[in-house]
Structure 1
Amino acid sequence: MVAPPDNDVLWARSLHHAHNGSPALNGVSLGVREGEILAVCGPRGSGKTTLLHCLSGQLVPEDGEVWFNSAPVHTMNAVQRERLRRDRFGWVGPEPCLVPELSAWENAALPLLLRGHSRRAAKAAAMEWLERLDIGDCAGRRPSALLQAQRQRVAVARALAPMPLVLFADEPTAPLHRPDRAQVLRTLTAAARSHRITVVLATHDPDVAAVADRTIHLLDGRRVNSVQEHEAEGRDACSLSV
């Protein structure tokens, strides 16, 4: 087992994983530098979500290595990986997954409260991000009283409030209309730049990927130079075989 380069906050080598026997990742390797925004692009079913789950410790790959700041995530036990996700990582998915009994600010403050921060300090941090995302006036409402776009912004605030070292964003703007999408992306990228947050962003939308410093492409669980080039090569091979 070889330790990753010192300048990579995340590093993965030869990841393999399958769901019910169907390959989701097939030999994917990558490195992500501190403070970098990396876009993982590809069509639905290409392995983007599985890759983020492996990098964040939600899944243990069947084969391969995942390192975070020179610590081997792939050999950690479930408790260690849960602590890592709670204390170092943030997550935004395509659905907000809020706690229905809690208000918007309580949902946004939840990671800080779980870390032992005072209610006052946790609320202040949550309110700062709710205000940045233009939903400060919704802070006292429960999720059932919010629009879908507002709930997604609360989820983004929840991910950013603890100031994670790495933010994993899996199609974070999928449920949003274009104006909301642009505003949320501006907030995410501004937070990443100003606080040196490393962002791994999975998307099939080229407009979303355009905010990233660097882009990698997945297709059928493998890294390719680009989906378009790979498809063109496939068409050329088919024409030669006819």
Structure 2
Amino acid sequence: MSAAPPDNDVLWARGIVKSHDGTPALRGISIGVREGEVLAVTGPRGSGKSTLLGCLSAQLPVDEGEVWFNSAPVHTLARAGRERLRRDRFGFVGSEPHLVPELTARENVALPLLLAGAGNKAAYTAADEWLERLDVGDCARLRPERLVQSRRQRVAVARALAPLPPVVFADDPTAPLHREAADQVMRILTSAARSHQLTLVLATHDAELVRFADRAVALVDGRLTAPVAPVPRGTTAPGANGAPAVTATRR
């Protein structure tokens, strides 16, 4: 019988293996994510970051190993159970803003709240608030086809945050954004996570975004390597004199 995951880990995985069409993507990954933590998963393209988020978020079944959410096994769930878990407990932002084309931005953001049983007034009020926070309040009544990609991505972020799910998975969420907009979106994502005690798992190949995380790990060829030390906000990265970076502390 396997050991139970630690009580303070909202997500916990042990020895997970996943392949795509016979090509190994994850090779025995074990990792824990604490409740309320902002964790960055870094690594080059093709290193397994998206696959890891897919396994942790119940989008992908693992080939081997265990995945737990709040001390309940995810790896034993059938497809319907994984779908309910994603709908009820997780938020997700990808590198492409997959919005419902027939709905306005406001309706897209309100949709997960309505599916969870919220009333119309509460759902649309929350949608309006999050669209304003993401600086796309003026897009509320527009459909995705009338928005440029960067604005669609902000709507997608608002949709993921509006229900305040216990865990938000963000897979390269700033890919369509320029640097200033990317930093703004990351500030909103991380401040929302910390103020509402949400857990945020971020996959990125952009080293600049690691500074927003409490902790970072690196993937190379489907294996975890040495931890990455984020540079705390308000400090500078190590310079040519070789001064060491300081690992960000938990908040």
Query: Is the TM value for this pair above 0.5?
Result: yes
Offset, 1:70: 0.3
1:53-202 map, 5 Å = 53-202=54-203
- Work out which structure has the larger RCO, using CA pairs closer than 8 Å and 6 or more positions apart in sequence: 1
More helix by share: 1
Q: Distance in 2 between matches of 1:127 and 1:12?
A: 36
- Letter of the structure 2 residue corresponding to residue 181 of structure 1: A
Q: In percent, how many aligned pairs have the same letter?
A: 67
Secondary structure in 1 matching 2:4: coil
Name the residue aligned to 1:46. Answer: 47
Residues 138-164 of structure 1: CA deviation (Å, up to 9, x unaligned)? 100000111111000000000000001
Q: Distance in 2 between matches of 1:171 and 1:134?
A: 20
Q: Distance in 2 between matches of 1:148 and 1:177?
A: 11
How many residues align structurally? Answer: 227
- Letter of the structure 1 residue corresponding to residue 207 of structure 2: P
- Letter of the structure 2 residue corresponding to residue 71 of structure 1: A
Runs of 4+ with deviation above 6 angstroms: none
**Does residue 21 of structure 2 align to residue 20 of structure 1?**
yes
Name the residue aligned to 1:231. Answer: none
Q: Distance in 1 between matches of 2:54 and 2:210?
A: 19
Q: Distance in 1 between matches of 2:193 and 2:116?
A: 21
Residues 56-100 of structure 1: CA deviation (Å, up to 9, x unaligned)? 001110000000000000001111111111111000000001111
Q: Distance in 2 between matches of 1:186 and 1:221?
A: 28
Contact 2:216 2:227 in 1 (8 A): no
Q: Distance in 2 between matches of 1:7 and 1:183?
A: 29
- Letter of the structure 2 residue corresponding to residue 199 of structure 1: L
RMSD: 1.0
Name the residue aligned to 2:225. Answer: 224
Q: Distance in 1 between matches of 2:136 and 2:45?
A: 30
Offset, 1:108: 0.8
- Letter of the structure 1 residue corresponding to residue 83 of structure 2: E
Q: Distance in 2 between matches of 1:2 and 1:158?
A: 36
Per the normalisation by structure 1, the TM-score is 0.92
Contact 2:218 2:226 in 1 (8 A): yes
Offset, 1:226: 5.9
Q: Distance in 1 between matches of 2:78 and 2:71?
A: 16
